[in-house]
Structure 1
Amino acid sequence: MSARLRSLNPYELHKYLVNIYCLNQKGSTELLKRDTAKDRTDLDVIRGNHKFLWDEDDVADTWEKQLAKKYYDKLFKEYCICDLTRYKENKVALRWRVEKEVVLGKGQFQCGSKHCNNVDNLKSWEVNFAYLENRMKKNALVKLRLCPECSDKLNYKSQKREIKRLKKAHKKKKKSKDRNKSDSDESGEEPHTPTVEPSDEPSTSQDTKDATTSSEDSLWKKAPQDIEEKSREEEFEDYLEDLLL
């Protein structure tokens, strides 16, 4: 038997040993299947090493990072494509455009929302995109072209804050009116409205000066108005709105 094994080439010897030691029982061919649990495609490698923005100082020191950087260099980074399916949670996903989308005009001449192809009344938006990358919080200013409906979804949270701010201001104004009304009711007199009687004599410059002085004094005697402090995020949004007008 040993002489027979010596006469076999490596492939035939491999088949013989497999048949003798592995395939003696029914269903034992499953032992020959390769474990594919740890297999990775090029797409898996790119996803694992992808960066939304690569800095000049970033070094691609492994072949995985080199592959991700090569993919990043082929992207078009003028306008973004967004996913607004979770806009009510203030969660918007953004990514750069690929060549096929640039050829079709998606994100520039068509609405930049992933699930919208509207081409009418598009608006340009500059968005402060805050994202988490490698357990680090980062942010970047990106451009979007959206239709009116998707623009409302993008600004869903800021619109709610604007409505809340207006309601708050309206409540303050109403409270001040009620306070003035209660003060007039307590005094038992109606608020006096100054009237000016017509006069044939022309008003002198001294009278004008006295009126100006009295008006300035009344301005200084007024109580300082409450100024609503804005958060840093609201100030940034107001700045962007003024910039895009």
Structure 2
Amino acid sequence: MASRFSYLRMNPFDFHKHLINNYILTQKGATKLLQRDTSRDKRDADVIRENHKFLWDDDEEPRTWEERLAKKYYDKLFKEFCITDLSRYKENMFAMRWQTEQELVVGKGQFICGSKHCAKDEGLRTWEVNFAYKEQGEKKNALVKLRLCDKCSTKLNHRHKKKEIKRLSKPNATASHSSSSTHSCDRTPTSTINESSDDTNESRKTPEPEESDIWRKPVEVEEPSREDEFEKYLEHLLL
């Protein structure tokens, strides 16, 4: 009876602990029953890995919080150059991903070789690759740019030659300056000859009176005589 009254005086939490300690944990290894099942736990990295897309459409809106988290991570990436993994190049299989902020700051993928396990910064070449990948059971393609050293470029083109992007060579400034100076030198004697020929032609021409000189002189008008005026008067009367 005493034990019964002691149970009644316990609050629900103390009574729960009493039952667990006296009836469940008395067997060996029974403490494993109190451990939480962590098999379905996921970190943020796991959620991003499951819902990540290599390319998101501009008008595509995420529907779940997992997709929103993956889209937020995608927006923080820099999509000018790719980082590639060439460890399985003999199988013609390459892994691609975009640059992170830290890689952009140090120049990885643009001024340093874009291979994941290479750090060379000399003799880099730019390649345009048609990256074919499978995402969520769907086959997709994307044109990406890679900056690789000579050794990594050989691995990239192990089976198929990729398209190399080369810069257009700029014209030499000294050559253009010298050509312009020669043109100017060639033009100067012709101009002097033309001027001298114009002077000789002007000297040979006879001076002609200008039209403005006509208006400067008074106009000379002959006054009619009285007889002429009288004859005109009679003609008007006889008409």
Shorter-chain TM-score category?
Answer: 0.5 to 0.7
Q: How does 1:145-164 map to 2 (within 5 A)?
A: 145-159=147-161
Q: Which of these residues, 28, 34, 37, is aligned with residue 35 of structure 1?
A: 37
Q: How does 1:54-93 map to 2 (within 5 A)?
A: 54-93=56-95
- Is residue 115 from structure 1 mapped to residue 117 from structure 2 by the alignment? yes
Stretch deviating more after TM superposition (30-39 or 9-18): 9-18
Give distance in 2, aligned partners of 1:46 and 1:3: 56
Give distance in 2, aligned partners of 1:15 and 1:4: 14
Structure 1 runs (4+) greater than 3 angstroms displaced: none
1:23–1:149 Cα change, 3 Å: same
RMSD, matched Cα: 1.6
Q: After superposition, what is the alpha-carbon deviation per residue over 1:13-70, rounded to whole angstroms, capped at 9, x for unaligned?
A: 2211211231111221111111111111111111000000011232211111111111
Instruction: State the secondary structure of the residue aligned to 1:158.
Output: coil
Structure 1, unpaired ranges of 5+: 160-236
TM-score of the aligned structures, taking structure 1 as reference length: 0.63
The amino acid of 2:47's aligned partner reads V
Structure 2, unpaired ranges of 5+: 168-239
Q: How does 1:152-231 map to 2 (within 5 A)?
A: 152-159=154-161
Q: 1:79: how far off?
A: 0.7
Identity of aligned residues (%): 59
Compare CA radii of gyration and give the structure with the larger one: 2
Give distance in 1, aligned partners of 2:35 and 2:157: 53
Instruction: State the secondary structure of the residue aligned to 1:34.
Output: coil
Give distance in 2, aligned partners of 1:109 and 1:10: 67
Q: 1:149: how far off?
A: 0.7
Instruction: State the secondary structure of the residue aligned to 1:12.
Output: helix
Q: Residue 129 of structure 1 corresponds to which residue in structure 2?
A: 131
Q: 1:244: how far off?
A: 4.0
Number of aligned residues: 165
Q: After superposition, what is the alpha-carbon deviation per residue over 1:95-153, rounded to whole angstroms, capped at 9, x for unaligned?
A: 01111111111111100000000000111111110000011110001111100110111
Give distance in 2, aligned partners of 1:115 and 1:76: 20
